[in-house]
A and B are shown apart, each in its own frame.
Chain A
Amino acid sequence: RKEVEQDPGPFNVPEGATVAFNCTYSNSASQSFFWYRQDCRKEPKLLMSVYSSGNEDGRFTAQLNRASQYISLLIRDSKLSDSATYLCVVNDFNKFYFGSGTKLNVKP
Chain B
Amino acid sequence: SAVISQKPSRDICQRGTSLTIQCQVDSQVTMMFWYRQQPGQSLTLIATANQGSEATYESGFVIDKFPISRPNLTFSTLTVSNMSPEDSSIYLCSAGPQGGELFFGEGSRLTVL
Give chain A interface residues in 78-108, CB to chain B under 8 Å: 87, 89, 91, 94-101
When chains A and B are docked, how far (Å) is the Cα of A65 from the Cα of B38?
30
B53 an interface residue at 8 Å Cβ cutoff?
Answer: no
Pairwise interchain contact A95-B99, C-beta atoms closer than 8 A: no
B107 contacts which chain A residues (CB < 8 A)?
Answer: 43
**Residue of A34, A45, A89, A94 with highest tally of chain B CB at under 10 A:** A94
Given contacts A94-B31, A96-B33, A96-B94, contact A46 B101 (CB under 8 A): yes
B111 CB → nearest A CB, Å? 14
Nearest Cβ in chain B — how far from A99, in angstroms?
A: 6
Q: Which residue of A lies closest to B101 (CB)?
A: A46
Q: Is A53's beta carbon under 8 Å from chain B? A: no
Give chain B residues whose Cβ lies under 8 Å from the Cβ of A44. 43, 92, 104
Chain B contributes a number of interface residues (CB within 8 A of A) equal to 21
Contact flag A45-B42 (CB < 8 Å), given A91-B99, A94-B31, A96-B94 = no
Q: In angstroms, how far is the closest chain B Cβ from the Cβ of A67?
A: 22
A55 lies within 8 A of chain B by Cβ? no
Q: Mark A33-46, 1 if CB is under 8 A from B, else 0.
A: 01000000011111
- A49 surroundings in chain B (CB, below 8 A): 101
Residues of A bordering B, CB below 8 Å: 31-32, 34, 42-46, 49, 87, 89, 91, 94-101
